[in-house]
Structure 1
Amino acid sequence: MGPVPVNRWAGPLLRAGLVLLGALHVSWGIPAVAAPRWFFDHFPGFGQTWTAAYPPFNVHLMTDVGAAFLTLGALLLAAAWLADQRVTRVVLGGVLLFSGIHLAFHLSHRGTLAGGGLVASLVSLALGVLAPGALLVLTRWPRA
């Protein structure tokens, strides 16, 4: 078996994916920390209230969730900035672990969600597992 071929698109796609995931996590974390009640009542927005489907509201829990999102976002953005394969793999592995556990919980606990809201929430959570998994695969290609 020869060396893995260099893919000139792997690096830019990986960095763009890290920045996108990092920005998403930060955008969820800031309101959860700064305005936990608002986050609970309105996340993810667009007329959907997925978090409120799991009552009761708990300011401590919402702030902790926000801290987790902010931490993951900061780590994803740092991995994009550093462009170090080992750092990127560790960060993506952590995001994948968090996202997998989060998805597993929601697959077995539906709260008051039903119909389209339930499907949309599960699809978004599944994408939260698939995206870092796909980026992790991209780390296997040497950069051009």
Structure 2
Amino acid sequence: MNGREAAVLRGGLAFLAVAHVAVGLWQLLAPHSFFGVLWVNTLPPYNEHLMRDLGSMVLGQAVLMAAAAHALEPRLVSVALAVELTFAVPHLVFHSGHSGQLAAWETLILLGLLGMAVLLPAWLLWLSARVRTARPAPRP
């Protein structure tokens, strides 16, 4: 992996880690505030327990992303991005069919953000796989 590819991959993983820390801490420490976000509160009821559990889980994803960004070990990177997509794809699919009482423009923004939450890890996974297959085979 050349320096540019490593920097892009590390930067993408670090971005995901920081985003998860921000969202996870918000969900864990101020669940009612997070639930008050326009895109979240259209599908009640509010459940503090589930909001805090989700925040804790998102922080766990942050730890995994940070470890992958730090180590850049191919299997860890692949697993971290697979975990990310395991959440992001169903999240996008759900919101594609359940926009609550959102206006059309609000739905477009929400689905655009959730789409990026799928495209970024998918692209990073593709990049990491491309980088791995581009390596020359070790000599015996």
Could you state the TM-score of these two structures normalised by the residue count of structure 1? 0.86
| Paired residue total | 133
2: distance between equivalents of 1:116 and 1:129? 20
2: distance between equivalents of 1:100 and 1:28? 18
Q: Which runs of 5+ in 2 are unaligned?
A: 136-140
Q: Which runs of 5+ in 1 are unaligned?
A: 1-5, 43-48
Alignment of 1:68-107 (within 5 A): 68-107=57-96
SS at match of 1:95: helix
Q: Which whole-Å deviations, capped at 9, do the CAs of 1:18-62 have from their partners, x for residues lacking one?
A: 0001100110000100110011113xxxxxx21111111111121
Point out 4+ residue stretches in structure 1 off by more than 3 angstroms.
none
* Residue 114 of structure 1: how far off its partner (Å): 2.1
Percent identity reads 36
Could you state the TM-score of these two structures normalised by the residue count of structure 2? 0.88
**Alignment partner, residue 108 of structure 1:** 97
**Alignment partner, residue 30 of structure 1:** 25
Over the aligned positions, Cα root-mean-square deviation in angstroms equals: 1.6
2: distance between equivalents of 1:23 and 1:54? 26
Higher helix content, 1 or 2: 2
